[in-house]
């Protein structure tokens, strides 16, 4: 392997601990949230210890230093995704908040009864529920593209649906958080624009694992979260083309997003403050910028290649275990995610058994119930890899799955929980 994850493991303090069972931790739950390197921890701590204050309107030293660091984080984010301008970068609470901002601000203004929002069946709930809510408000309807037998979607089918349904919006994930399938963002965006549709990309599972170039994608909106790219919780990014953001009314009202307020109304601030009501996520934004710098130093292309090696090893080994069914395409068509079921064994029992071996995975519907329903599954177990994972950890994971299958095949107790994990 040209990429050595052991070069970076010491950067992540949490990886040195053990699981509750006492076994060394193999953290394979990265699609839900990644761990933080010391550089990010230090950046957030430094902000709180040396210069934290509220931003933008303070005259004193701390406020000016905090403002400079916060706006530098915006510039770092612009560079990270190759946006054209800092004003196209809106800091939100996460991917969910970013998509809801578009659904309320753009959606309320541009969609009416009879209009169509087109999604794929592979979407996370964060890219489904806001559109259902918009449908309740506006009378528009939500349509879904189905998966093919190989867990991908044919470009020709996408083009045909765009032409026949004539959607006002095509919102889709760049990569599925369950089956791992990578979708051709630039191609589908072009097809959607040719059909007159606006495009929103859920990049929560793409931004941590590959170079994202929003100008090359040409999507109108792109959303992703900080906690999935080694950054803090409570921070996310909404990218929007300037022409759209300028035309949209502000979503949340309050301090920070105004130019002037009177007893009869208000005038909103210019971009990007227009969409950042209240005290913004100052320290999280600074930590997010540190995470982006860290990932760029490691190399996103190298990270993607490393994850492919791990995914291929895990996928190949699991397919050889009797009773194990992989949910997803072959490794060449997906990112570093392997989801699976074991015949007759509930996903939660599998995950709990793996935890006794120190292997942290996710079990449940992964906030993708429509996808699981379309596949005839109630839940699945998901292992997801990142830059600090090793082939040794993959081997431990596969061995633990074999043990789980053998244990429950011998008649071990199978427990079905009523409340599946709402994992992302």
- For the stretch 213-260, pLDDT in tens is 999 999 999 999 999 999 999 999 999 999 999 999 999 999 999 999
Is-contact 372 379, C-beta < 8 A?
Answer: yes
Q: What is the pLDDT of residue 57?
A: 86
CA angle 135, 139, 142 (to 5 degrees): 45
- Dist CA 401 CA 420 (whole Å): 20
Question: pLDDT value at position 424?
Answer: 57
Per-residue pLDDT, 2: 83
DSSP 85-117: -GGGEEEESSHHHHHHHHHHHHHHHH--TT-EE
List, in sequence order, every beta strand (DSSP E) within 269-372.
324-327, 337-342, 359-360, 362-364
Query: Where do runs of H (alpha helix) occur along 116-213?
Result: 129-138, 155-165, 185-194
Please check whether residue 201 is in contact with residue 222, taking contact to mean a CB–CB distance below 8 angstroms: yes
User: What residues form DSSP beta bridges with 384?
Assistant: 29, 337
Sorting pLDDT into bands at 50, 70 and 90, what band is 1? low
Mean pLDDT of the residues in the chain? 96
For 323, residues 6+ apart whose C-beta sits below 8 A from its C-beta are 342, 343, 344, 405, 409
Residue 116, beta-bridge partner list: 141
| C-alpha closest to that of 363 among 377, 376, 350, 345 | 350
- Going along the chain from its start, the domains and CATH numbers come out as 6-32+299-409 (3.90.1150.10), 41-296 (3.40.640.10)
Task: Calculate the alpha carbon distances from 207 to 84, 105, 249, 266 in Å.
Answer: 17, 24, 27, 36
Q: Which of 29, 14, 41 is nearest to 287 (CA)?
A: 41
Burial 87-109 (b: 16+ CB within 10 A, else e): bbbbbbbbbbbbbbbbbbbbbee
**Catalytically active residues, by annotation:** 367
160 C-beta neighbours (distance < 10 Å), count: 12
**Which pLDDT tens digit goes with each residue over 281-301?**
999 999 999 999 999 999 999
Claim: this prediction has a pTM higher than 0.85: yes
Cα 269 vs. chain centroid, distance in angstroms?
29
Tell me the pLDDT tens digit for each residue of 3-42. Answer: 999 999 999 999 999 999 999 999 999 999 999 999 999 9
Instruction: Decide if pLDDT at 322 tops 60.
Output: yes
């Amino acid at each position: 392997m040209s990429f050595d994850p052991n070069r970076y493991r010491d950067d992540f303090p949490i990886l040195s601990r053990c699981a509750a069972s006492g076994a060394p931790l193999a953290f394979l739950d990265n699609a839900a949230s990644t761990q933080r390197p010391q550089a990010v921890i230090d950046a957030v701590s430094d902000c709180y210890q040396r210069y934290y204050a509220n931003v933008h309107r303070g005259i004193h030293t701390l406020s000016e230093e905090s403002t400079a660091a916060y706006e530098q984080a915006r510039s770092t984010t612009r560079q990270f995704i190759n946006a054209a301008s800092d004003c196209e970068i809106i800091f939100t609470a996460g991917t969910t908040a970013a998509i809801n901002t578009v659904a309320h601000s753009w959606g309320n203004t541009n969609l009416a009864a009879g209009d169509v929002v087109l999604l794929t069946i592979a979407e996370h709930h964060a890219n489904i529920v806001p559109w259902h809510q918009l449908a309740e408000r506006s009378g528009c309807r939500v349509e879904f593209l189905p998966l093919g037998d190989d867990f991908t979607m044919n470009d020709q089918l996408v083009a045909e649906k765009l032409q026949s349904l004539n959607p006002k919006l095509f919102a889709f994930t760049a990569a599925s958080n369950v089956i791992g399938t990578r979708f051709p963002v630039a191609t589908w965006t072009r097809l959607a624009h040719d059909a007159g549709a606006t495009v929103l990309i859920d990049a929560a599972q793409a931004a941590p694992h590959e170079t994202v170039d929003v100008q090359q994608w040409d999507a109108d909106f792109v959303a992703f979260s900080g906690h999935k790219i080694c950054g803090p919780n409570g921070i996310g990014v909404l990218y929007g083309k300037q022409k759209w953001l300028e035309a949209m009314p502000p979503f949340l009202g309050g301090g920070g997003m105004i130019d002037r307020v009177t007893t009869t109304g208000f005038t909103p601030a210019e971009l990007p403050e227009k969409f950042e009501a209240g005290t913004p996520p100052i320290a999280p934004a600074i930590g997010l910028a540190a995470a982006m710098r860290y990932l760029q130093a490691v190399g996103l292309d190298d990270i993607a290649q490393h994850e492919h090696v791990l995914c291929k090893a895990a996928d190949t080994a699991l397919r050889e275990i009797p009773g194990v069914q992989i949910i997803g395409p072959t490794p060449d068509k997906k990112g570093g995610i392997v989801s699976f079921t074991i015949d007759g064994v509930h996903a939660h029992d599998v995950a709990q058994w793996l935890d006794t071996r120190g292997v942290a995975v996710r079990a449940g519907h992964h906030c993708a119930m429509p996808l699981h329903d379309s596949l005839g599954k109630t839940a699945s177990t998901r292992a997801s890899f990142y830059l600090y994972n090793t082939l040794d950890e993959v081997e431990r994971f596969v061995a633990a799955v074999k043990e789980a299958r053998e244990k429950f095949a011998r008649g071990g107790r199978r427990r079905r929980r009523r409340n599946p994990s709402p994992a992302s």
